Amino acid sequence: MNRPRWQRLVRSRIISSRHIPCAGVSPARAFSMSGRRGLMDTTGFSEDQLTVREAISQICANFPNTYWQERDQQEKDPKEFHAALAKDGWLGIALPESFGGAGLGISEATMMMQTITQSGAGIAGAQAIHANVYATQPLARFGTQEQLETTIPHIINGTWRTCFGVTEPNTGLDTLRLKTLATKTPDGYSVSGQKIWITCAQVASKMILLARTTPLGEVKKPTEGLSMFCIDIDRNHPGLDLRKIKKMGGRAVDANEVFFDNYQIPANTLIGQENQGFKIILHGMNAERCLLAGEALGLGYAALEKASQYARERVVFGRAIGQNQGVAHPLADAYMKLEAAKLATYHAARLYDTNDGSIPIHTVGVACNSAKYLAAEAAFTACERAVLAHGGMGYAMEYDVERYLRECLVPRIAPVSREMILNYVSEKMNFA
């Protein structure tokens, strides 16, 4: 069989065999469904997805939990991890092959992000490359040939890192009321305003920026007047100020407030048509929902694997604690929730990838948002129960589950809250 070039190259690097499903567990044993590749059942995944899972697992094996513990505690960027993924071209997993990408879909990218978090890297490991994968989707689809040729290859090879500039402190999730203004000048635009919760801005070279090019009061529809740009982050420019935010989890990657004060950007940084940025950004938002759902799943499975191992090894009153239903049943329940969310996640990614215009956009949106919601909730359940299964040691950094619990709140909050997803689904399904 003639496989795509990317797949042949990846397969040549893989040494170990694929996951072999483990045998069933005897009722007399402690709760355990752990195989060499972890808890998740891989039945039904495509050959491409499994190849991605295997290859990313090989890379992640070089970055043990101690690496991520240290990066978390020292708030130190995992640049070595980013470089390792860039070396084999994985930052371009969903970008065109003509520019060095793999030309795969969000289904495979979701598998990559899940594999990263499940390896022990957690949400921080995923966020180190998160924007490079999804924020570049609008650029790849709507960018000019010049933008693609000058930007995409540098992102894929790791020379440039990317961040996504959308959220603002006074508008939050109300994207249509963004206030950051890009005013036209003879040479391009002058940007003034503020963004917040911009991940990796301290280390990024590029920002995919959503700004208003027509004041809100001058547009006929709220969806008009926004434009998307791919801009340089020039830290020496007096009109740009980055301020790091101290946060609870995912501390290996930075989060920032970004202030623009007449920050000059060239005209050729505009992506697509002026004032059509909201339509363009929607292409990236559904992709991000899928990726974050995959990241949440991986974190949940990682936490459950830790709990399973501890439940088998921790002996109290002469028997492993996993033999007690009070320990085993909550873990089994968490596992089923993860498996259900897994089905929703990869269903949504498949809809996103295969939609040729025949699937209503709200159908894709509902599926992607539902997947993110379900995966985030399942991950929270798994992480909380993993800490509780460890008892007092669940509070200790060396067991990792406390880090997972801190990080699992991210997909519940960002990039859209649970409540806003419920609002969206109830509206689109005519429940309200």
Question: Above 70 in pLDDT, residue 36?
Answer: no
CATH topology (fold) of 162-276: Butyryl-CoA Dehydrogenase, subunit A; domain 2 (2.40.110)
Average pLDDT (133-150) is 93
Instruction: Tell me the C-alpha distance between 25 and 251, whole Å.
Output: 37
199 near 163, Cβ under 8 Å? yes
CA angle 227, 144, 268 (to 5 degrees): 60
H or E element: which one contains 266? strand 255-266
How far is residue 406's CA from residue 404's CA, in Å, rounded to a whole number?
Answer: 5
- Give the per-residue pLDDT at 185: 98
Instruction: Supply the pLDDT for residue 19.
Output: 39
pTM: 0.92
- Mean pLDDT for the chain? 92
Quote the pLDDT of residue 283: 78
Instruction: Report residue 19 as tokens.
Output: 């996951």
Taking only the tens place, the pLDDT of each residue in 341-375 is: 999 999 999 999 999 999 998 999 999 999 999 99
Please write the tens of the pLDDT for every residue from 210-235: 999 999 999 999 899 999 999 999 99
pLDDT value at position 157? 95
What average pLDDT score do residues 255-264 get?
98
Task: Look at residue 193 and tell me whether its pLDDT is greater than 90.
Answer: yes
> How distant is the alpha carbon of residue 40 from its chain centre?
19
pLDDT at residue 172 in the model:
83
Burial class (CB in 10 A: 0-12, 13-18, 19+), 407: buried
Spatial CB neighbours of 7, under 8 Å, sequence gap ≥ 6: 47, 48, 51
- What's residue 37's pLDDT? 52
* Residue whose C-alpha is closest to residue 81's, from 107, 117, 109, 39: 117
- What residue spans of 15-129 are helical by DSSP H? 47-60, 65-74, 79-87, 106-116, 122-127
Task: Please give the pLDDT value at position 8.
Answer: 58
pLDDT at 12: 54
Q: What is the mean pLDDT of the segment spanning 394-401?
A: 97
Q: Could you state, in order of their start, the residue ranges of all structural domains in the chain? A: 162-276
Query: Which residue type occupies 136?
Result: T
- Mean pLDDT along residues 260-281: 96
Q: What is the pLDDT of residues 4-30, one digit of tens each?
A: 556 655 655 543 333 333 333 333 344
Average confidence (pLDDT) over 292-314? 98
188-199 and 181-185 as β-strands: parallel, antiparallel, unpaired?
antiparallel
The pLDDT, as a whole number, for residue 32 is 38
Q: Give the tokens for residue 291.
A: 């990726």
Position 432 confidence tier, pLDDT thresholds 50, 70, 90 = confident
pLDDT in tens, 70-86: 999 999 999 999 999 99
Give the mean pLDDT of 246-265: 98
- Cα–Cα distance list, 262 to 22, 185, 233, 238, 319 (Å): 60, 11, 14, 9, 67
Separation of alpha carbons 298 and 193, rounded Å:
36
Enter the DSSP assignment of 121: I
Residue 34 above 90 pLDDT? Answer: no
User: What is the mean predicted confidence (pLDDT) over 100-115?
Assistant: 96
Give the pLDDT confidence score for residue 284 in this predicted structure: 84
Q: What is the mean pLDDT of residues 110-114?
A: 98
